[in-house]
Amino acid sequence: MRYGSVCSGIEAATVAWRHLGWECAFVSEIDPFASSVLKERFPSVPNLGDFTKIGKGDYEGEIDLLVGGTPCQSYSYAGLRGGIADPRGSLAIEFVRLAERTDVRWLAWENVVGVLTSGGGRDFAAFLSALAGWDVQPPRDGWRNAGVVTNAPGRFGVSWRVLDAQYTRVPEFPGAVPQRRRRVILVGCRGDWESAAEVLLGDELCGGFDPPRREARLRTAPDDGAGLEERASEECFPIDMMNIEGRTSCLRTKCYDEAGAAMYTLRSSHVGAVCTPHDLRRLMPVESERLMGFPEGWTDVPWKGGRAPGGYRHRALGNSMCVNVMAWIGERIDAVEKENFDGRQQT
């Protein structure tokens, strides 16, 4: 499988799909710091910049899959919710247009759960309509956490499902990641809604109703990154810093959670924190990397003559997709594609 990545960030998809043997034909990112991470980690992969300007001749060969998480600010409950009318929200439609220009067979798209209710459900309906090639209307009682839309001839049949990173297990992450991160994952397959549905809603479902059991412990890293120190604690409480700092008092979440619980969702706007019997402190960049499933030090790259500051690293990680979730999606697409290929060979 050969794929292109847009709104690439620090490229969770390629980290997740390495073991599949897939090839990344290009990435597309305009943020300076995220672009520096891509250049450091994938020096041979071209960064094509603004994905709305990518044409079929801008990269070598053909691609089979397009992956991306277009900006979520206009759909997020924490934002103004401008929806698809917001220039950032409209990039979801640009994603569809690029999928058509590149003539891909598969696509994978990620966004916040708020996209399902944005504009009274009409924004998500417009996105589905652009993919499927017919006028999809929002249900009277709203979009569910999972669903399927059939396709017009030659267009994308799609399925979507809300996945939480703390439940999503793959062999590389048998305990998932200890972060509450619910996101809408949409998979499309050109001319074949059944294959799209099989990827997200087939037999090999991920997770369950109970998160993995975890001990109340804390792993810390020194500021200089010279080494890792691990210490066990009887209690380790995740803290919702967005709530405790008083910037979003409307959020109905606790400032402190139970010992050993999964971390609150990492955000790009501020840094999460933990409380232990020893101290109250913000997360360190290496801990945010672990919570997103990246290798330790992934965002520790050269930056303006030195090393990247922690704030830049946290922001890039908060904007990223979780590696374990992308690994599960890739493995399911790979399995369905191989099954379809075997079926075509037999006929």
pLDDT tens column, 152-195: 999 999 999 999 999 999 999 999 999 999 999 999 999 999 99
Q: What does the pLDDT read at residue 243?
A: 61
Q: What does the pLDDT read at residue 203?
A: 62
Return the bridge partners of 188, or none: 107, 158
Contacts of 43 (CB under 8 A, 6+ apart): none
Question: Would you say 246 and 271 are in contact if contact means Cβ atoms under 8 Å apart?
Answer: no
Q: What does the pLDDT read at residue 236?
A: 77
Contacts of 189 (CB under 8 A, 6+ apart): 105, 106, 156, 157, 158, 195, 196, 199
**Active-site position among 24, 72, 189, 322:** 72
Nearest to 46 by CA among 23, 68, 15, 67: 23
Please tell me the number of Cα atoms within 13 Å of 177 on its side-chain side: 29
DSSP per-residue codes, 114-127: GGGTGGGGHHHHHH
How far lies 213's CA from each of 86, 259, 261, 269, 327, in Å? 41, 12, 9, 29, 21
Q: What does the pLDDT read at residue 143?
A: 95
The greatest distance separating any two alpha carbons of the chain, rounded to the nearest whole angstrom, comes to 65
Q: What tokens appear for 15 in the block?
A: 């980290």
88, with CB counted inside 10 A (0-12, 13-18, 19+), is middle
Where the chain has pLDDT below 50, the residues are 207-209, 216-234, 251-253
How far lies 202's CA from each of 3, 13, 300, in Å? 23, 21, 38
Domains of the chain in start order, with CATH, are: 2-210+320-346 (3.40.50.150), 217-308 (no CATH)
Contacts of 120 (CB under 8 A, 6+ apart): 138
Question: Would you say 98 and 66 are in contact if contact means Cβ atoms under 8 Å apart?
Answer: yes
Q: How far is residue 134's CA from residue 131's CA, in Å, rounded to a whole number?
A: 8
72 is catalytic: yes
